[in-house]
Amino acid sequence: MYANRILSGMRPTGNLHLGHFHGVLKNWIKLQHEQECLFFVADWHALTTHYDNPEVIRNNVWEMVVDWLAAGVDPDLATLFIQSQVPEHAELHLLLSMFTPLGWLERVPTYKDQQEKLTEKDLSTYGFLGYPLLQSADILIYRASHVPVGEDQVPHIEFTREIARRFNHLYGREAGFEQKAEAAIKKMGSKKARLYEELRMRYQQDGDESAIEAAHALLNEQQSLSLGDRERLFGYLEGGGKVILAEPQALLTEASKMPGLDGQKMSKSYQNTITLRESADSLTKKIRTMPTDPARVRRTDPGTPEKCPVWALHQIYSDQAIRSWVQNGCVSAGIGCLECKQPVIDSMLKEQEPIRERARMYTENPSLVRNIIDDGCEKARLLACDTMRDVRSVMGLSYD
């Protein structure tokens, strides 16, 4: 069993490009080998801003899953699913909304930012205001320990931690908590129990964060503890009540350094992208026509690589030998720009070969993709239902 559970979501708003690949997707692909991973298509999130254009979502959900699979996200390692196919997210969102102060939502920085940026849309909606809370539900329902996100999303994770804390504070108190926690400690056996007590002491008396991490790892290894006892012991470490919803940590994904065709950051809104599944012809044409150092008007004019967006691509796609060939050839006008671009084209095509191969397999057999998502939704739903049972019960809603 893994000690950590990683969860991340992506909005289905268009074909993924090489910026996504070198930023988010490569990170997911690395993580899937190291930890338990859940990755989902945030289709409800897309509706918070595209409610007037459901076509966007309909067209992009499956395409995005194919992009993930083509990039190398492995359904045998990670669980892939679609948010709306696990409707418990909505139930948790509703229940959390009961005690979420409006001010907390209004203060989330993306709220005002996006409203100001997307002026062509009316975003004075209940759904848009509540979208960080929906994200909290996405995370908390899986008791995720880590959430890989970009910098812009870090406030949402912080918000989620506050929601979890408030939830545990409101609903985590039970009669006889201390006695139950002490009894649970004994169930671990005397050696582990002593270790737990020692770590708890170190944390509570000295504020030693490494002790709490070690204690979490210890608890995660205790297969024999019931879920309830485990929650008690998590809560007891910090002194409070039961931890029913775990506080997640942001796992900051470094901003993609992938330059676009014009030297700016690659982004759909700049129209400077190469998509993950760009055809070989179109890729070649895009690179061959991309701008170079404007000083090189004629083939005989020397240039400066640092002033050229092609050079930025060589940083990612070429080894040292090719890079010095470019440096020397450019400043001495020894090579032409088309010649200089060829190694970039070659490495990009090479990078895309396995991607294209996998994409072909999935586009030719859409039922493969459906089955992967069906399996993933089923797995995710079991985890979500488990949390919801506890949540309903402490909120007075269990009727069986």
> For binding to ligand SF4 (CB under 6 A), which residues are involved?
292-293, 296, 303, 305, 308, 310-311, 326, 330, 335, 337, 340-341
Nearer to ligand SF4, 272 or 292 (CB): 292
Q: Which residue is nearest to ligand TRP (CB)?
A: 9
3-class SS of residue 400: coil
Q: What is the DSSP letter of 79?
A: E
Task: For residue 5, state whether it binds ligand TRP (rule: CB under 6 A).
Answer: no
| 276: contact with ligand TRP by CB under 6 A | no
Residue carrying the six token digits 């359904």: 75
Per partner kind, with CB cut-offs from 5 to 8 A, the member of ligand SF4, ligand TRP, none near residue 139 is ligand TRP
State the minimum distance, in angstroms, from the CB of residue 210 to ligand TRP.
Answer: 26
Outline where the chain has alpha helix (H): 18-20, 26-34, 43-50, 54-71, 88-97, 102-106, 109-117, 126-129, 131-140, 154-171, 177-186, 190-206, 209-221, 227-238, 280-288, 309-317, 320-331, 337-364, 366-394
Of 50 and 296, CB closest to ligand SF4: 296
**Would you count residue 8 as binding ligand TRP (CB under 6 A)?**
yes
Nearer to ligand TRP, 141 or 287 (CB): 141
* Token duo for residue 224: 């024999």
Nearer to ligand TRP, 250 or 290 (CB): 250
Should residue 42 be labelled a site residue for ligand TRP when binding is judged by CB under 6 A?
A: yes
Question: Minimum distance from CB of 345 to ligand TRP (Å)?
Answer: 31
Q: In what order do the strands lie in the sheet with 249-252?
A: 78-82, 36-41, 5-10, 146-149, 249-252
The site for ligand TRP, by CB under 6 A, has a size of: 12
Asked if 45 touches ligand TRP (CB under 6 A), the answer is yes
Task: Supply the minimum distance, in Å, between the C-beta of residue 372 and ligand TRP.
Answer: 20
Question: Judged by CB under 6 A, which of 5, 6, 7, 372 binds ligand TRP?
Answer: 7
With CB under 5 to 8 Å by kind, the binding choice for 292 among ligand TRP, ligand SF4, none is ligand SF4
Query: Based on CB atoms, which residue is closest to ligand SF4, 49 or 318?
Result: 318
Q: Which is nearer to ligand SF4, 183 or 295 (CB)?
A: 295
The amino acid at 2:
Y
Closer by beta carbon to ligand TRP, 45 or else 216:
45
Structural tokens at position 209: 């964060």
CB distance 86 to 377 below 8 Å: yes
Q: In whole angstroms, how far apart are CA 292 and each of 17, 286, 299, 304?
A: 21, 12, 12, 10
Nearer CB in complex with ligand TRP: 149/246: 149
Of 67, 88, 138, 293, which one interacts with ligand TRP (CB under 6 A)?
138
DSSP 321: H
> Sign of the CA dihedral 137, 139, 142, 144?
negative
Euclidean distance between CA atoms 307 and 187, whole angstroms: 66
Q: What is the DSSP string of 1-40?
A: --S-EEEEEE---S--BHHHIIIIIHHHHHHHHHSEEEEE
- Using CB under 6 A as the binding rule, whether residue 143 contacts ligand TRP is answered as no
Say if CB 35 and CB 7 are below 8 A apart.
no
Stretch that binds ligand TRP, among 3-11, 266-274, 304-312, 381-389 (CB under 6 A): 3-11
Among 32, 153, 168, 256, binds ligand TRP (CB under 6 A): 153
Q: Is 266 near ligand TRP (CB under 6 A)?
A: no
Q: Mask 101-130, x = binds ligand TRP (CB under 6 A)?
A: ------------------------------
Q: Are 328 and 334 in contact (CB under 8 A)?
A: yes
73 binds, among ligand SF4, ligand TRP, none (CB under 5 to 8 A by kind): none
From the CB of 18, what's the least distance to ligand SF4, in Å?
Answer: 18
Angle at 69 between CA 65 and CA 73, to 5 degrees: 115
Closest by Cα among 232, 243, 237, 231 to 209 = 237
Q: Does 60 bind ligand TRP (CB under 6 A)?
A: no
CA distance 380 to 369: 16
The binder of 149, among ligand TRP, ligand SF4, none, by C-beta within 5 to 8 A per type, is ligand TRP
9 binds ligand TRP (CB under 6 A): yes
| Residue ranges that bind ligand TRP, judged by CB under 6 A | 7-9, 11, 42, 45, 135, 138-139, 147, 149, 153
